[in-house]
Chain A
Amino acid sequence: MSQHILEIKHLQVWFHTIDGVAQVIQRVELVIEPHQAVGLVGETGCGKSVTAKAILGSLPVPPAEIKRGEVIFCNQDLLSLRVKQRKQLLKQSMSYIPQDPMTSLNPVFTIGQQMVDLIKWHKCANIGLGGLLGLRGWTKNKPARKTALQLLDYVNIPAPEKIVDSYPIELSGGMRQRVLIAMALVGDAQFLIADEPTTALDVTIQKGILNLLEERIEERGIAILYITHNLGVARRLCARICVMYAGNVVETGPTLELLEDPAHPYTIGLINSVPKLTKESYVGIEGTLPDYLRPPSGCRFHPRCRYAEEICRNTPPSLREVGEHRFVSCHMIESFR
């Protein structure tokens, strides 16, 4: 138990909308160990970001409702903690890199002002007695600014003295993303949730950011939940991959094994859809994501699955162990493997 940094047990999240109840997360099971990056992979609308927000407690309730489940972080169930306690716990040990570098920074403050505020909030620089007492006028800004400069330098931003006084609009997408990563590193959190931090970026810059995160895992031994739809990126950074489809974790396992020998029909389809450098043929997956207001009965993948049989239409499958550290949620797995 205690060796896991985060464990999600049977998470179920519904959204109450005008048209009815959208059963967005049906069953998410996830385990993250320290010193490890876990990739949460899936297509648009499969519930990756909702899972992340459920962990962070930033889902709007209502319309969201967490029907059941446990999110155990540092041996405490986040969902049953009181708001104040949860905030305190998350502030100390969890941090988040948002998806969109264009809208996640405040456009009317300079990078430096935003970072200094955050550093003061985290109290991780010498901010003077006034700062500790929360007296605005008596706070020391200089040490916080110095910390900000160090962090910007750490994420390989050239000429941080210049960047720290510029507004977000003056920076390119790659720069802003690196600023957000620097901000996520304030407070030295042991656990980092990265929600598609490199999706909007070019491959050369993406590689730099992945190297940076990799370094952080090695140096500080942090754990990362890396949300992405790009299997190649997940392969580079993550020790384990969780594949999600329509609100369910359908397969999980060590990265290389999972990519070499996928077991769930959806994972197979996903891997076969990626254009590869070897010029292997690639085919998509027939059909579309189900409507969450009227999800299919049984296995949610059955309308698109080649191997679907009677049992798939009636009973939702649960995760079963099929190999060392490998779990698959599929009824028919024995018949086609």
Chain B
Amino acid sequence: MTPCENLLSVESLYKAFLGKKKGLSRARTPAIKAVNGVDLEVKRRETHALVGESGSGKTTLGKTAIRIYAPTGGTIVFDGRDITQLAGRGLKAFRREAQMMFQDPTSSLNPRKSVSATITLPLRIYGNISSRQRKVRVEELLATVGLPRPFQYRYPHSLSGGQKQRVGLARALATRPSLIVLDEPTSALDVSVQAKILSLLANLQQEHDLTYLYITHDLAIVRNIATTTSVMYLGRVVEQAETENLFSNPRHPYTKALLSAIPIISEEENRHKPAEVTLEGDIPSPSNMPVYCGFFSRCQEKMAECQQVDPALVQVENDHWVRCLRFAHRREEERMLYPFTTKGQRS
């Protein structure tokens, strides 16, 4: 594997948010470990989906991976360069290459700025181009995202949700990035509009050689557009595999529960779902994480040892990684046959 096959690779990434201050003392409430040792490899031109329930750290991971947040620990390598410690000019130059599209179409656009002002801002910051060239570029970008030219004079309040998301996408595309982090770009939209935005994203990926890190909780979308999928739970990746593989053969009990809970609209879809699993029990708080497997409290397949050991991410198949003790055991039995590989062992 050459280093440049992966556009983005993240190694044991940690991101903790400091707790609240307690009164006048220096004491704080416990820190919230939003991302807790994640390894992630995003290949060039692929769509890598991050799925998981709310609070599992998907968005924090996406934002930390492109240095919107400063990581607490770990390394981030983008296009062969270590960007973990970038600052100042280096960081500014990097931002051109990795952009983000946000979840909420309304709050991610400035209501006092026209569409053209919103889209030209990144051009002003990063591109040393004349104002005439900028005008041309804005029209070009609007055409790319399928908005008519007069839209550049309009303001966000006069746009529909889908149109606002298109503006957000045009803004992300303005600096010609190679990676775009898409944070639930369609969760606020209706299905009829969502389908249009998804096909637009797919076309743009083809045309501009884009790589997407797609954060979502809608597994039906993931199945349709993602090449690789990582399932997150409590700030960790619990399973990572090619999408086809993940859906046809989910290993982690949480993935199985997640897949079996997808609401479907036709009988044929049932064949692509695992048997019904119902989760009970509570999700541990990310500020007070158990030292053993974080899924223990809700797991249907738990064993006695699960409460003693924190499992590592182990490879169960080519490009299929699982963080579950059941598979760690199996690997140990097979140790004599195959070289044992682990990823993301906690230090």
Which A positions have Cβ atoms within 8 angstroms of B? 43-44, 156, 158, 172-173, 202-208, 211, 229-233, 235-236, 259-260, 269-279, 282-285, 288
B160 within 8 A of A: yes
Which of B218, B224, B258, B280 touches A282 (beta carbons < 8 Å)?
B224
Assign chain B's interface to a size class: 35 or more
Given contacts A231-B263, A279-B224, 19 further A-B contacts (CB under 8 A): A44-B161, A156-B280, A202-B53, A202-B54, A203-B53, A203-B258, A205-B53, A229-B190, A230-B263, A233-B263, A269-B192, A273-B195, A276-B220, A276-B269, A277-B262, A277-B273, A278-B269, A283-B195, A288-B160
Contacts of B224 in A (CB 8 A): 275-276, 279, 282
Q: Whole-angstrom distance from the CB of A214 to the nearest CB of chain B?
A: 12
Contacts of B199 in A (CB 8 A): 283-284
B55 within 8 A of A: yes
A-B contact pairs, 20 of them (CB 8 A): A156-B280, A173-B54, A203-B53, A204-B258, A204-B261, A206-B261, A229-B191, A231-B191, A270-B191, A270-B192, A272-B195, A274-B191, A275-B218, A275-B220, A276-B224, A277-B247, A277-B269, A278-B269, A278-B272, A284-B192
Which residue of B is nearest A236, CB measured?
A: B263
Q: Whole-angstrom distance from the CB of A221 to the nearest CB of chain B?
A: 24
Contacts of A43 in B (CB 8 A): 190-192
B281 within 8 A of A: yes
Contacts of B258 in A (CB 8 A): 203-204
Which residue of A is nearest B263, CB measured?
A: A232
Which B positions have Cβ atoms within 8 angstroms of A? 53-55, 160-161, 190-196, 198-199, 217-221, 223-224, 247, 257-258, 261-269, 272-273, 278-283
Which residue of A is nearest B247, CB measured?
A: A277
Contacts of A205 in B (CB 8 A): 53
Q: Across the A-B interface, how many residue pairs have beta carbons closer than 8 Å?
A: 108
Contacts of A283 in B (CB 8 A): 195, 199
Asked if A158 meets B282 with Cβ closer than 8 Å, knowing A172-B55, A232-B265, the reply is yes
Contacts of B273 in A (CB 8 A): 277
Contact A273 B191 (CB under 8 A): yes
Contacts of A172 in B (CB 8 A): 55, 283
Asked if A204 meets B257 with Cβ closer than 8 Å, knowing A44-B190, A275-B220, A275-B221, the reply is yes
Contact A158 B263 (CB under 8 A): no
Contacts of B283 in A (CB 8 A): 172
Contact A276 B266 (CB under 8 A): yes
Contacts of B55 in A (CB 8 A): 172
Which of B192, B223, B266, B279 touches A285 (beta carbons < 8 Å)?
B192
Task: State A260–B267 Cα separation when bound (angstroms).
Answer: 9
